[in-house]
Amino acid sequence: MTHLIVNGELRTVSSDPDTPLLYVLRDELELNGAKFGCGLGQCGACTVLIDGQPVFSCLTPLLLLEGREVRTLEGLGTLENPGPVQAAFIAEQAAQCGYCIAGMIMRTQALLERSPNPDDDEIRGALEPQLCRCGTHMRIIRAVKHAARSLSAAAEATK
Amino acid sequence: MRHDISRRAVLQGTGALILSFALTRRAFALTETGVGDTSVHRLPGDLDSTPMLDAWIRIDPDDSATIFTGKAELGQGIKTALLQVAAEELKLPLTRLTLVTADTGRTPNEGYTAASHSVQDSGTAIRNAAAQVREILIGEASRRTGAGADELVARDGVVTGPGGLRLSYGELVSPQLLHVEAQPTSNLTDPKDFTVMDKPVPRVDIPAKLTGVASYVQDMRVPGMLHGRVVRPPSYGARLVSIDATSVEGMTGVVKVVKDGSFLGVIAEKEWTAIQAMRQLAALAKWNETAELPDESRLAEALMALPTQDTVILDVGKPDAAQYDVDASFSRPYLAHGSIGPSCAVARMDSDTLTVWTHTQGVFPLRNALAELFAMPRENVRCIQVEGAGCYGQNGADDVGADVAMLARALPGRTVRVQWMREQEHAWEPFGPGMVVHLQTALGADGMISTWRQEVWSQSHMMRPGPPGTLLAAREKADPFPPPPPVDLPMPEGGGDRNAIPLYVLPNARAVNHFLPEMLLRGSSMRSLGGYLNVFAIESTMDDLARLSKQDPVAFRLRHLADERAKAVIITAAERFGWDGRPKLPAGGGYGFGFARYKNLEAWCAVALEISIDQDTGRTIVERATAAVDTGQVVNPDGVRNQIEGGIVQATSWTLFEGVRFDRRRITSIDWAAYPILRFAHVPRAIDVHIVDRPGLPFLGAGEAAQGPTGAAIANAVRDATGQRLHALPLDAAKIRPQNLLAGRPRAGT
């Protein structure tokens, strides 16, 4: 048994410790956000946050994660109440097939937590590990800027 | 004509059968969508093949409606577009509509979701059906109340009329009311009255996808579901010689190892167990490999050396010249669809019925193939489309559908899910074919093109199911199915020769399609088919001819066009880009222009762009791109923009980075390291899309319009920046690096 904090909740999982986190999330915890893309850490479709840092869940075995905090797409918001980054991607219609977008959103979340007002080059640099095949990149970059603006406005409002 | 298929090609196709056959181009004539070749009822769009109105639209007593389409959402936004069309003509709010997509048990058979035909075929059908349903409901209100139909108005799902008359659709509808054949003409809404169509309605599927709601076949999860994986051979046509699977069968959590000839798969309780078992099986399997692949560095020569079936597709005037101003061969490598999510399917066998959930582009053809593969009646096989990752043509979707069915049949009563591994998708998907285009052109003294000769070499771009032999599992089974005869998609849409007839006015022109029945690598449909290379070649040549005659490339194109809509997109793109008066760029900078009307039948698209080439690495970046597009009546302008932007980015990736790699036996580009595609650092700095508005004109597909013009515009910009013309794709950094191309600078433009 391994204990994880997934999207703020303590979860006890029974998958073998050598199981990559991706399969624990998808198959045992039934979370759809992280996607299988390559299993090689080359495409970023499986990106989640561990203790706030973006990682490839397809390469991260469960045994490294005892007691650690995992955040997935589901932890950012819901269909009824999407989080600020999700809302920005929806507002910019930044998806075609959408398969890669969960990873894009997680990478964006990590970027904006570290750097609230990234410029174009910083956004491109941060998203470099993430592949998109539909060619939605321009909208994704717009969505990241949109999210940065929403988060700054929200931070300003709570001051 | 008769051609023997070589042993090598057949081995790659099947591993077994050697056959020769006679075929003509018409014998296997087929459209890329699989339907709609000839009109049966003379009805609009796919009403022609499915004329009953209630096959498309159901009105429920609660004033809601369900729309049925045989087309599939592939990430192109078709769900939203079709709902907009239905809402507009039914006069029902979008929120009261539900859409059911391709399902052999429920929806019309609209063949494949391909060829940028969905809005044209299904959108036209649904638009007309919806308008006719609305009129039937108004007629019913008139019949019941005695009010004249012209006094009645349908709005928001209610028919209203004089004296407070008010009847909702739910009140008006009765079981047989819509069970009628469509009429040839409909009372369509005038574009100036549109409230839903031609509006940037947000995509209905995006919020769920972005918040982790199960949206893809990859996300399907049913109680008791098992996970399967298959072991593919190491190379085309390899046969499984032996395997001792005892150790795998004994693994905890493994339910069953399935072997049938050279088909090898495993079913396990958990996905990760299935993957480990698959790896163990792969390590234990002994294969006999026979594939002989061509020399990768001499692919164009290998293609041109194959036997051909020739069709003259254009022959006007006297296309001969004493000498040619441009005489060049253009080529592209095999290209991978490269879906980000490897193909996946879920299946279940219950007594004598098989159900497959699949992201195929053609549920009906796949259903037919599976029925034949398993000798089952078609009515006992149901294929239900569930979205997958974007496919851009035929990826592994159909193959994994057959794989999962093979496993599910071995374990009746259990639901099984199979997803391919990355290396399986990269090695086994049917690639976009490698191709060669040879052009010979000459200019007259007036600076107009006097002669144009174009030849195209390509294998089939259409190896989809129907025939079971299109599916990998069917070829691997102990009693294999033969490969189907290769389909040479005929003109006017064409396959390898798609867009091989220039849209320009050419008094003396000849174009020949050299169809290659053999397949050096497995191939099938990929976005824009042969259109990408034909437009690349034509537009590169237009650019060279303009330079040779010292004419501006945009003005030179306009001089050769009679088609007003073509001229309009070219002028729009040039103006919005600022083509005239474009500033001189520093070293490594270049401008390029490209234009085509997709298939000469669909959307017109022109692309102007500026690139910069890094003087040390030879890496090209698109600094800015401006596109103009005419897709007839627009259903969703943001959807069109998304498709054109995406097309430009994807074609930039094809053009600058991509090519399938192989040695003399195996595909070697089996991951994203060996098959690099564009990443964020090389995404264009800016893309600007302008829609040329054509209210009321027929719908034209937009999904493939940008590919050819973008590739050509980049090639022309590289020519502008380096002074040299590159003919072989990709235009990667290695070709451009200083010691190669850039070493040629400075060199005056010829």
First to last CA, chain A: 43
Residue B742 falls within a domain, yes or no?
A: no
Determine the pLDDT at residue B197.
Answer: 97
Are A145 and A88 members of one domain?
Answer: yes
The residue range of the domain holding A13 is 2-74
- Domain annotation covers residue A138: yes
Which residue segment(s) compose the domain that B122 sits in? 45-199
Between vectors from CA B643 to CA B638 and to CA B646, what angle results, nearest 5°? Answer: 120
> Are residues B623 and B732 located together in one domain of the fold?
yes
- Pair A46, A93 in one domain: no
State both tokens at B166.
């008010």
Task: For residues B268 and B176, state if they share a domain.
Answer: no
Q: What is the pLDDT of residue B175?
A: 86
Using the Cβ of B646 and the Cβ atoms of chain A, whether some distance falls under 8 Å is answered with yes
Nearest-CB residue to B209 (from A31, A95, A133): A95
B60-86 burial, b at 16+ Cβ within 10 Å, e below that, comes to: eeebbbebbbbbbbbbbbbbbbbbbbb
The answer to whether residue A142 sits within a structural domain is yes
> What was the pLDDT predicted at B116?
84
Q: Domain holding A11: CATH number?
A: 3.10.20.30
Count of structural domains within chain B: 3
Same domain, B274 and B411: yes
Are B422 and B505 contained in the same domain?
A: no
User: In terms of domains, do B278 and B371 share one?
Assistant: yes
What pLDDT is attached to residue B27? 36
Identify whether residues B114 and B178 lie together within a single domain: yes
Residues A67 and A16 in one domain: yes
Interface confidence, given as ipTM, is: 0.98
- What pLDDT does residue B36 have? 59
- A20 and A70 assigned to the same domain: yes
What stretches in chain A show pLDDT beneath 50?
Answer: none
Task: Give me the pLDDT at residue B3, please.
Answer: 40
> A99 and B205 in contact by Cβ < 8 A?
no
B213/A43 CB distance under 8 A: no
On whether both A68 and A107 belong to a single domain, the answer is no
| B447 in the same domain as B408 | no
Task: Please indicate, yes or no, whether residues A14 and A57 belong to a single structural domain of this protein.
Answer: yes
Q: Show Cβ contacts of residue B436 under 8 Å, excluding neighbours closer than 6 positions.
A: B300, B303, B304, B329, B330, B331, B456, B457, B458
Chain A residues close to B421, C-beta within 8 Å? 39
Predicted local distance difference test score (pLDDT) of residue B2 = 36
B392 reaches A (C-beta below 8 A): yes
Contact A127, B417 (CB under 8 A): no
A144 in the same domain as A88:
yes
Residues A114, A55, single domain; the answer is: no
Q: Are B496 and B526 in contact (CB under 8 A)?
A: no
Residues B575 and B694 both lie in one domain: yes
Under DSSP, the state recorded for B121 is I
Q: Tokens 């980049």 — which residue?
A: B714
Q: What is the dihedral of CA B698, B702, B704, B706, to 10 degrees?
A: 120
Do A70 and A100 lie in one domain? The reply is: no
Residue B32: CA atoms inside 13 Å, Cβ hemisphere, count?
28
Enter the tokens of residue A144.
């990241």
Q: Looking at the 3D structure of chain A, how many domains does it have? A: 2
Domain assignment of residue B454, yes or no: yes
> The domain that contains A117 carries what CATH number?
1.10.150.120
Both B679 and B534 in one domain: the answer is yes
Domain boundary among A14, A44, A74: A74
For residue B376, being part of any structural domain is answered with yes
Total-model pTM: 0.95
Interchain CB contact of A114 with B (< 8 Å): no
Of A16, A76, A97, the CB nearest to B75: A97
- Report yes or no on B466 lying in a domain: no
Q: Is residue A132 part of a domain?
A: yes
- Considering the domain boundaries, does residue B301 fall inside one? no
Residue type, B4: D
In a domain, A79, yes or no: no
Chain B contact for A27 (CB, 8 A cutoff): yes
Task: Determine, yes or no, domain membership for B731.
Answer: yes
Tell me the H-state helices in chain A: 21-23, 84-91, 101-114, 120-127, 137-157
Tell whether A129 is covered by a domain. Answer: yes
CA proximity to A86, closest of B208, B211, B204: B211
Where chain B has pLDDT below 70, the residues are 1-30, 35-38, 738-750
**Residue in B336, B335, B393, B334 with CA at minimum distance from that of residue B359:** B393
Domain for residue A68, yes or no?
yes
| Minimum CA–CA partner of B209 in chain A | A98
Q: Is residue A127 included in any domain, yes or no?
A: yes
DSSP A25: I
Q: Does A59 share its domain with A104?
A: no
Q: Is the CB of residue B647 less than 8 Å away from at least one CB of chain A?
A: yes
- The Cα–Cα gap between B714 and B652 comes to 8
Phi, psi of B190 (to 5 degrees): -65, 135
Which of A38, A86, A93 comes nearest B203 by C-beta?
A: A93
Say whether both B277 and B144 belong to one domain. no
Single-letter amino acid code for the residue at B157: G
Q: Is the same domain home to A69 and A118?
A: no
CATH code of B84's domain: 3.30.365.10
> Does B137 lie in the same domain as B95?
yes
Residue among B425, B426, B491, B498 at smallest CA distance from B461: B498
SS3 B249: helix
Domain membership of residue A69 (yes or no) is: yes
In this predicted structure, what is the pLDDT of residue B740? 66
Statement to judge: residues B177 and B234 lie in one domain? no
